[in-house]
Structure 1
Amino acid sequence: MKIFNLNTFLILWSGISLIGCAAGKQQAMLNTIGSPEERPATFDALREDFNIAERDQVNLIAPDKFQQAKKYFSQAEAMKAEGQPEDEFNEKLSDARTNLDSAMAFSKSNKDRMNPLIEARQIALTSGAAETTNKDLNALEEKYLALVKDLDTRNSRADALDQITPLTQDYQDLTVKTLQAKHLGEAKNTLGIAKAEGAEDLVPKTLKETEAVIKRAGDYIAQNVNPPSMKNISQLGKEASAASTRLLRLTRETKASKALSPEDRSLNSEAVLQSSKEESARLQGIVAGSNERISKLESRTKDYSKLEQRDLQSKNIESVRELFDEEEAKVFRQGNSLIISLKKINFPVNESDIPSQSFGLLKKVQTAISSFKEPSVVVEGHTDSTGSADLNKALSTKRAEAVKEYFLSNSVISPERVETVGYGSEKPLASNKSSAGRAINRRIDVIIK
């Protein structure tokens, strides 16, 4: 079997870093990439967009197109440095822009599906898998590279989508295997030596307690494969090593005492018994301390995750606010949801077709939705008070459906994660007595959860 060159892979698909919180303006720019009219094919613009794309891990979701764009860009730089005509290297820049835009569009449509796999892969790489289990990692990296290529191939896309979940699990299993070997390998090796030297017969109680310490540490690793838990895992590994070292020492002391004469054994038995009791008490303390520490660490991990999620949500909300002018939309938080109340959709009376002048506003909503990880979205339709309540409710539902279809046609969110509801004229923002007020009430509210 051909061994996959991990270093080459990491060079080609470099830029593996957890998705950062980009500023609102950068996020807005990121989500406008898709047509040359919006982002020019210039050296400065492409450099900036390559950096943004790598932060958003486009190089991992659409590596072929991304690397093709980088190749054309490098060729353009070389041609310019050689003093070749501007129209010739501009052609290379145009090719770079086309491939980068294509990579960005493909990444946006597959980001929700790929994020769990990318995160699992990143954790596996940073856990030490690249240092100690190259054969296992190489096999997964080959599968990953094949998967992202198949995603971009119409005939094999369905099969590739089916492989995302099992490949994610494979990376997680590799991380568990790596961390357990790294942090519990010494403890398990010492435990094996103690058992080979008769620990089961000589110090069975201490053996059982030591095995419990190692098992609890292993279980914690299996259930907490995430960056915040790495320090906790290291500490539990040290405790397991200490417990197994004590087990081996006590096994050898007990074995040595059996070689003494009956008189010496009698004189020494009290000291050995006392030592055994002390060791047992210490190990029981370690077990109790480990249980308590694991409980505290699990609680801290949950608290950390909640704080991290809350901080990320706050940053996302501020970024979303920066997208809209005051007269375009009102953005506010309600519980764990973000509400974007669009003031300027301006549906014509009794119609549900989205006015073309509102497409720019909806594109900003696309950007807002894309800044959240696997969000659920509710699109609410509202009308003015013109007409009957039944007609208004039906019309508001159609308007909400029209916006939903706009999002789906632009691959903003998967169908199962968006729903619609029509409220008719039940929730006005302005008085229906004036034409201006009625125009405001013919609106859409987008709720991101």
Structure 2
Amino acid sequence: MKNHKVHSLWIALVVVGVIMTGCVQSKMAGSKAASGQPAAIQANPGELVNQLSSAITEARLAKLNILAPNGFKRAEAAFLSAQEDLAKGNEIAGINASVQASQEYLKRAKEIATISSTTLADTLKARDMARNAGATKFGKAYRRVEDKFLDLTRSIEKGNLSYAQKNRDQVTDQYRALEIRAIKEETIGTVRTLIARAEDAGARKIAPRTYKKAMDQLAATDAFISANPYAKEKMQSMAKDALFHAERLVVVTTLGNRVKDMPPEDVVLLLEDYLHTIATTVDAQDMRNHDYQTQLDNIVGSVDALKADRNFIAQKNDDLQAEMETLKSDNQAQIDALNVRLAMLEGKTREDQMAKEHMARERRAVEKRLAAERKFNQLYAAVRDYFETDEAEVYKKENQLVLRLKAMRFPIGKSTILPENYSLLSKVQKAIRTFDDPRVIIEGHTDTTGSDDVNMLLSQQRAEAMRDYLIANQTLPPESISAVGYGSERPLASNATSAGRAMNRRIDILIIPQDNPI
């Protein structure tokens, strides 16, 4: 309660300072207007809040929430206050003051984050490796190390750099110990469980070669981790391979049991059906009257042709976009040149000419904004028709289009994208491509089931899985797509009910056009 009062007092002081500064600036602007100079154009409060929302998201992506936790918390609180005031239609002055306060907090937090990331570079790397290995599932043990890490960054915020330097190695070693434990107990533990399940199903007899491969990979991984506790990248790579072969063993054993009592013809027809289904999907020729290798070559050739066609279309679109940008630039240069010549021919003074050019630029800006807004509304209407009501909710948020994916499903506790989601993701790709090279932010959200650390990491991993899928399918270049996890921080409904928790477990896709309509 005490911390809350101190925090509220801090924001109040910043807001008062901002308002006083705003008053002075307002008087100065007024005096300029009185002297014949154009007054500054006030920004739209909605645009300011929207820009701040993007800045807060970027700050979280840059890990300011852990590199400068106190400053980021204050910045986010001021932003949420501005967002709430905007939604309620409160006074513009209060909204602007909260926005400016948040911006000041973010500016200071970025400065601190630069120092933290440099001072704690090895510790940050160890933290990321431990989290990626699954150390957050250790609950209290992980939280103890995480609290020590946050003590380091908070000490840097307070100017006590020597404390961080003195204690960082200890925290780094503790993260590494958690990582090794996670790899052995979580990943290799899962491998052993899967192999035991396959053994119970008769893997040694039904799939002896696959079984041997899985056992050899497990033994090699276990031995390597014990002998090389700091070879982190190789360690994780081997553990991932061991898990892959264990899962493959389960699949091969299951299918082996399925076909072991089937007549030979049924086995052949089953395989033929699989190949034919793929061939039909990619519009390949029906070659069931040929041997399996020919059928497979037929499918691979068809897929390669589709990939080549997609790459050709993508390159053609890039060339067309570049040509349009060149034409746009040339046309604008010609218009500006004609405006200058027109002013000179009319015998205007230099001041009148500058004023005319200023008015022309303002007019073009307004026309451009209105045109972009009309285009945005048209695209919004088109995208909304792509989805069924049970698949996604599509709505506008300032200059952003939000796709709230209702039908997106992940396995419990995992970030694997299942084939059942491909149809929905195809529509997501279509929605993104409807806009001209937009920027996309993917937000992962969870309910409150499980610890905060597990939820935060899981939401980040699911958002990153979505990002990887869109990049792999050439929806946008990597630099145009960001992924951020919020865990259970931003619920839509109460977590007290199953319906509310289901609503809170979601993926939101934010599509931000290049032409800002607001």
- TM-score interval w.r.t. the shorter chain? 0.3 to 0.5
Higher relative contact order (CA 8 A, sep 6+): 1
Larger Rg: 1 or 2? Answer: 1
Query: TM-score of the superposition, structure 2-length normalised?
Result: 0.37
